[in-house]
């Protein structure tokens, strides 16, 4: 029976009730040892009625064994794996030791999908005790799922001791019992004087375990107040010290083996080697200190393990570890080096080691490789770090520290990666090849989470083409044109190839050389040979520096598609920076917003600060297009707070551009003109030439609106130079619009706008041109000709959700003599960004499983969203949904039939 836990029980019941109704969630129960968290988990497991229960318990001895907790939790439902999308299925199979493989994000999404399958049809309760000792790989996957249960019938509860941060999951503090409840608990077990009860509650802070165990150790005279209470009371690990000491020697030996490894088979074999029989384990159970559950030995409470561990000398503990390693090797035979037994053996050998030992270090390094191959990067980093400590050769130690840094980086631990890398540099000595690898990784770490300018400095010192390419990328993030030109010049010394041509071409193009565009065109001609997401991003850069924003956006979208279905090695948040920008440039701000929301969440989980800034900046632009002033300013300021001190000029400039677009959309031309002008003047670390080039059509429009025609003409001259080698229709359309805006001849201006309309492929940009032409025609007293353009622009703006622009078009339309309310937007406007993305993938012909694999959702979540989408749109089939999406994506007729 639980005493005094009404509030906690109510919170648990509410969580389970919501999950039963299809609104799942997670809750962290946080409190000190012995406060009753396990009892609350047991209660939760019993409150779900027909809902099945999955559970796991973190074990300190297994906290370095990748996926140990997932094995406990998911083994009962492994038979449901076939229902998962293939990439997720293989990732989970790999984590469970079933011969699959995968990476961090695919594994996490697969865990979510498998839990969702297990939740059908009654729902599911998932409880994890002692979460502070769950291995890092399992913890990452479980938390990924916990933060995404809103549409699943799953209630997840995690019990945590101490202050371990659990981001994104609400916590409930479980404190000591109030005095009345504590007194009731004491009355249920013994007759105790009122004053003694009050004193015991005060001294134990109402901790239930401390109360029970203390009372067991008090004499009748102490309980009835005839003798004073001992000072101090037994507490902490001392609660069970006497019971451990009282165990027979053989039972204490078994207890120590179980404290070092909870695997029943391993403990039994080690005990047999020591000549200890099964009776010793029976005695341990009879003492109430441990129990055998399935294939494990579990202590009654973690403090029992602490007491057992502390009762043994370091030498005795090392001997026990050595015995466990020996029987792990003996029992697993040829499999010892290839799976969980091999990992256990490696860790026990490491714990038994008294100094450097290459054989032990090598075993740990192989265990790290197995964890890495299944997506357990954090555990891989831990194993490699310990392997490095045991490595006698300095160069091999440095290489293992470097590999540990890579694993920590990919596991979302940038701070730890930086520390490991610094240690690797100390041991690398004068080895040039290893020093280059360490420097390149250091530069990549800086680019992801630190100073982009420092990344340029570090990477520019390298001599390989790969490092030069990374240096060029870093310089591009900073916006350092001079560095990009110099890096491009150095790249010319390497043989012709795709990457060399892009890096050299960008540098040559920025310096104004005629061969720059030729090199970039030659690189783009090899696009059909590209396979990796990173390669498509370089192609994106090549198209961008040719002035072809539309082709650049198309290539970025391809990078995103490749990244989602291939080994992403943790870099998906970075790829999504460019995919989100591509969607926005293509005139699909709602889709762009949804991608950046996903990327922002993943970037925060991965610890990629500069990528967080990128997604915040893009979200600011999307908010500006929608006219959401407060949201735009908030996102922009958050992005600038990261980008400016980190010298990430590309992202700082996008955030500043968002504020300019906000002013332009709301008709504040002078303010927009000032912001765009400041953007041009911003140097490396705050501004960026690509943002300046892409924003020039907006800058010209703002300058004209503010009455500064001279600035508009100066901007046009620069834009003509930047666009000189652009060949796509959309790039020519934007140039025609800019020329029309500054044309002194009204007739030439109207012809320029009409030419732009004939060339536009981007519906949003076409609408802006149609609005400008409609305004010119109305002010030239030709309202009948203006109205078709304004009407089409209004519809396109409403389709895109660009409300400020839609209001401007509507006002012009009314001024042109057309009365009535603004037409309703697309039915798709009723969808959330996530629903809109799912609708788009349905239109592309993807199944629910395929959509789930793309978006890191469970197939059931996809079906849930479709269930919500259909009534919103008044439809009932995928075919009808696809038809609506295709109509939305089709370029609007903003030509006025010219």
- Of 247-251, 397-401, 888-892, the poorest mean pLDDT is in 888-892
pLDDT higher than 60, residue 338 = no
Q: Please report which confidence band the pLDDT of residue 821 belongs to, taking 50, 70 and 90 as the band edges.
A: low
Q: Does the structure show a pLDDT above 50 at 896?
A: no
Residue 236 has pLDDT above 60, yes or no: no
Contact 748, 778 (CB under 8 A): no
Taking the C-alpha atoms of residue 270 and residue 735, their distance in angstroms, rounded to an integer, is 78
Q: How far apart are CA 358 and CA 342, in angstroms?
A: 16
**Owner of token pair 């005990």:** 271
Among 113, 101, 171, 123, CA closest to 144? 113
Tell me, what's the pLDDT at 113? 92
Q: What percent of the chain has pLDDT over 90?
A: 57
pLDDT for residue 813 is more than 70: yes
Ramachandran quadrant class, 277 (left: phi over 0; alpha: psi -120 to 50; beta: rest):
beta
pLDDT band at 830 (very low <50, low <70, confident <90, very high): confident
Is 684 strand, coil or helix? strand
Strands 290-293, 296-299: pairing kind: antiparallel
Q: What is the pLDDT of residue 897?
A: 43
pLDDT: is 411 or 676 the higher one? 676
How confident is residue 894, by pLDDT bands cut at 50, 70 and 90? very low
Q: Which residue has the tokens 């239930």?
A: 208
How distant, in Å, are the alpha carbons of 238, 466, 631, 819 from that of 897?
87, 51, 38, 21
Q: Considering only 200-214, 477-491, 809-823, which range has the smallest mean pLDDT?
A: 809-823
**Parallel/antiparallel/unpaired status of strands 53-57 and 25-30:** unpaired
| Phi, psi for residue 156 in degrees, rounded to 5 | -115, 130
Residue-wise pLDDT tens digits, 40-62? 999 999 998 899 999 999 988 88
Whether pLDDT at 566 is above 70: no
Which are the contacts of 621, defined by CB distance < 8 A and separation ≥ 6?
584, 589, 632, 654, 657, 658, 661
pLDDT at site 336 = 42
Residue 558 makes CB contacts below 8 A (sequence gap 6+) with 536
- Give per-residue pLDDT as tens, 355-395: 999 999 999 999 999 888 888 888 999 999 999 999 999 99
**pLDDT tens digits, one per residue of 536-564:** 999 999 998 998 888 988 999 898 888 87
Among 131-140, 147-156, 262-271, 819-828, which is the least confidently predicted range? 819-828
Tell me the angle at which helices 249-260 and 264-273 cross, rounded to the nearest 10 degrees. 140
Q: What is the DSSP letter of 534?
A: H
Both tokens of residue 825?
A: 């937007």
CA 61/CA 63 separation, integer angstroms: 6
Whether pLDDT at 674 is above 90: yes
β-bridge pairing 124-129 and 53-57: parallel
Give the residue-averaged pLDDT of 636-649.
96
Most confident of 139-143, 633-637, 725-729, 845-849: 633-637
Over residues 259-271, mean pLDDT: 91
Q: Quick one: pLDDT at residue 402?
A: 95
**What is the DSSP code (8-state) at residue 708?**
-
The closest of 872, 729, 895 to 796, measured between CA atoms, is 895
Query: What integer best gives the mean pLDDT of the chain?
Result: 89
pLDDT band of 652, cuts 50, 70, 90: very high
Q: What percent of the chain has pLDDT over 70?
A: 95
In total, the chain counts a number of residues equal to 898
| Structure tokens, 124 | 């599911």
Q: Which burial class, exposed, middle or buried, applies to 4 when counting CB atoms under 10 A from its CB (0-12, 13-18, 19+)?
A: buried
Give mean pLDDT, residues 709-736: 92
- What are the pLDDT digits (tens) for 577-597? 999 998 898 888 888 998 999
Residue 825 has pLDDT above 80, yes or no: no
In 10 A of CB 314, how many CB atoms?
Answer: 7
Cβ atoms of 682 and 645 closer than 8 Å? no
Range from 190-194, 568-572, 626-630, 634-638 carrying the lowest mean pLDDT: 568-572
DSSP 263: B
Q: What is the pLDDT of residue 238?
A: 63
- 480-500: average pLDDT: 95
């Amino acid at each position: 029976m639980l005493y005094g836990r009404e509030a906690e029980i109510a919170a648990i019941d509410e969580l389970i009730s919501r999950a039963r109704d299809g609104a799942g969630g997670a809750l962290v129960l946080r409190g000190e040892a012995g406060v009753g968290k396990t009892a609350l988990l047991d209660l939760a497991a019993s409150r779900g009625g027909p809902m099945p229960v999955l559970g796991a318990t973190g074990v300190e001895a297994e906290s370095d064994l990748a996926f140990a907790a997932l094995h406990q939790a998911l083994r009962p439902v492994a038979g449901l794996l076939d229902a998962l999308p293939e990439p997720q299925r293989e990732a989970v199979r790999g984590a469970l030791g079933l011969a699959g493989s995968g990476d961090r994000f695919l594994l996490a999404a697969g865990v979510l999908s498998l839990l969702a399958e297990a939740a059908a049809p009654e729902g599911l309760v998932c409880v994890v005790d002692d979460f502070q000792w769950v291995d890092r790989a399992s913890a990452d996957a479980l938390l990924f799922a916990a933060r995404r249960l809103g549409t699943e019938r799953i209630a997840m509860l995690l019990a945590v001791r101490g202050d371990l941060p659990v981001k994104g999951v609400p916590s409930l503090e479980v404190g000591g019992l109030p005095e009345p409840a504590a007194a009731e608990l004491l009355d249920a077990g013994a007759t105790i004087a009122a004053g003694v009860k009050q004193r015991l509650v005060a001294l134990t802070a109402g901790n239930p375990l401390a109360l029970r165990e203390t009372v067991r150790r008090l004499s009748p005279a102490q309980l009835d107040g005839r003798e004073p209470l001992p000072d101090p009371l037994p507490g902490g690990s001392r609660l069970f010290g006497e019971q451990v000491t009282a165990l027979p020697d053989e039972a204490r030996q078994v207890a120590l083996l179980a404290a070092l490894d909870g695997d029943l088979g391993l403990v039994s074999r080690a005990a047999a080697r020591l000549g200890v029989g099964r009776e010793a384990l029976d005695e341990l159970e009879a003492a109430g200190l441990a129990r055998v559950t399935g294939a494990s030995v579990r202590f009654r409470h973690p403090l029992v393990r602490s007491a057992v561990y502390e009762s043994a000398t370091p030498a005795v503990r090392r001997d026990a570890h050595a015995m466990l390693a020996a029987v792990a090797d003996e029992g697993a035979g040829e499999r010892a080096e290839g799976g969980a037994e091999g990992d256990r053996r490696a860790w026990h050998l490491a714990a038994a080691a008294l100094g450097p030992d290459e054989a032990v270090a090598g075993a740990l390094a192989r265990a790290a490789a197995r964890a890495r191959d299944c997506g357990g990067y954090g555990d891989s980093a831990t194993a490699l770090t310990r392997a490095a400590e045991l490595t006698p050769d300095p160069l091999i130690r440095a290489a293992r520290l470097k590999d540990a840094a890579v694993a920590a980086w990919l596991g979302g631990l940038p701070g730890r990666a930086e520390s490991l890398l610094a240690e690797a540099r100390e041991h690398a000595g004068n080895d040039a090849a290893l020093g280059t690898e360490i420097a390149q990784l250091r530069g990549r770490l800086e680019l992801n989470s630190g100073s982009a300018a420092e990344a340029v400095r570090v990477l520019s010192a390298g001599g390989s083409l790969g490092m030069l390419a990374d240096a060029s990328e870093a310089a591009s993030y900073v916006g350092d044109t001079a560095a990009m030109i110099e890096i491009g010049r150095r790249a010319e010394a390497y043989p012709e190839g795709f990457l060399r041509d892009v890096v050299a071409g960008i540098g040559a193009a920025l310096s104004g050389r005629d061969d720059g565009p030729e090199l970039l065109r030659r690189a783009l001609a090899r696009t059909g040979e590209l396979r990796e997401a990173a390669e498509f991003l370089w192609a994106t850069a090549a198209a961008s520096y040719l002035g072809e924003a539309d082709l650049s956006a198309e290539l970025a979208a391809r990078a995103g598609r490749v990244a989602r279905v291939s080994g992403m090695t943790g870099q998906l948040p970075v790829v999504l920076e460019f995919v989100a920008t591509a969607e926005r440039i293509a005139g699909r701000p709602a889709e762009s917003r949804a991608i950046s929301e996903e990327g922002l969440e993943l970037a925060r989980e991965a610890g990629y600060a500069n990528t967080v800034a990128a997604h915040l900046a893009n979200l600011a632009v999307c908010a500006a297009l929608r006219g959401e002033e407060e949201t735009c300013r908030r996102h922009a300021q958050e992005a600038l707070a990261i980008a400016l001190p980190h010298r990430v000029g590309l992202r700082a400039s996008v955030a500043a551009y968002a504020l300019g677009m906000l002013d332009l959309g709301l008709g504040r031309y002078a303010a927009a003109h000032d912001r765009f002008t400041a953007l041009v003047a911003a140097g490396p670390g705050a501004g960026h030439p690509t943002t300046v080039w892409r924003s020039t059509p907006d800058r010209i429009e703002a300058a004209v609106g503010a009455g500064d025609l001279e600035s508009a003409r100066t901007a046009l001259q620069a834009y003509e130079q930047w666009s000189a080698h652009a060949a796509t229709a959309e790039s020519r359309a934007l140039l025609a619009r800019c020329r029309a805006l500054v044309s002194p001849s009204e007739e030439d201006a109207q012809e320029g706008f009409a030419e732009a309309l004939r060339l536009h492929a981007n519906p949003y940009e076409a609408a802006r041109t149609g609005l400008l032409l409609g305004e010119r025609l109305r002010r030239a007293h030709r309202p009948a000709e203006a109205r078709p353009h304004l009407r089409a622009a209004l519809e396109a703006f409403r389709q895109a959700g660009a409300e400020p622009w839609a209001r401007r078009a509507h006002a012009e339309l009314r001024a042109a003599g057309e009365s009535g309310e603004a037409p309703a937007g697309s039915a798709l406007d009723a969808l959330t960004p996530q629903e809109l993305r799912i609708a788009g993938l349905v239109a592309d012909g993807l199944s629910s499983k395929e959509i789930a694999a793309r978006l890191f959702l469970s197939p059931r979540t996809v079906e849930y969203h479709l269930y919500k989408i259909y009534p919103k749109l008044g439809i009932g089939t995928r075919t009808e949904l696809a038809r609506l999406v295709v109509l939305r994506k089709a370029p609007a007729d903003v030509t006025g039939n010219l």
